[in-house]
């Protein structure tokens, strides 16, 4: 049995035995330009650790990267993600300095909450 996970140009390939895995890799290399990077460590923001005959997946480094991009690494946790008593208005305040950064962060947070639904409210 073999499994192939493909996302755009990233592939994870695993098989029930090493002979089959080698054959699949060789077949794919003959047809496509590809590089075998060896044992899986990271994939699409997931950190992969091999433990006790299985895999442990974590997005802690992905979440830390989002905080760093937003310049929020020194911020302290709070009990609610919403500022209490704030009033939002379309006509007051200053516009966002970099809309591209905002959209990039929004997309990254959306991806994070798809895989971690328990943090959706806080995000």
Is pLDDT above 90 for 38? no
Q: What is the separation of C-alpha 72 from the centre of its chain, rounded to a whole number of angstroms?
A: 18
The reply to whether the predicted model has a pTM over 0.75 is no
Residue that is written with structure tokens 């990254």 in the block = 108
d(CA 34, CA 25): 9
Indicate the domain borders of the chain: 2-57, 61-85+94-119
On whether the CB atoms of residues 36 and 23 are closer than 8 A, the answer is no
Q: Which of 11-15, 30-34, 83-87, 98-102 has the lowest mean pLDDT?
A: 83-87
pLDDT digits (tens, 9 = 90+) for 47-59: 899 888 888 888 8
């Amino acid at each position: 049995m073999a499994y192939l996970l493909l996302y755009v140009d990233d592939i994870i390939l695993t098989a029930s035995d090493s002979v089959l895995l080698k054959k699949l890799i060789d077949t794919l290399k003959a047809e496509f330009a590809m590089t075998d990077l060896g044992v899986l460590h990271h994939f699409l923001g997931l950190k992969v650790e091999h433990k006790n005959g299985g895999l442990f997946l974590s997005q802690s480094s992905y979440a830390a990267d989002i905080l760093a991009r937003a310049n929020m690494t020194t911020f302290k946790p709070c009990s609610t993600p919403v500022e209490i008593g704030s009033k939002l208005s379309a006509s007051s305040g200053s516009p966002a300095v970099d809309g591209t950064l905002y959209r990039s962060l929004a997309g990254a947070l959306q991806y994070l909450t798809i895989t971690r639904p328990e943090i959706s409210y806080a995000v």
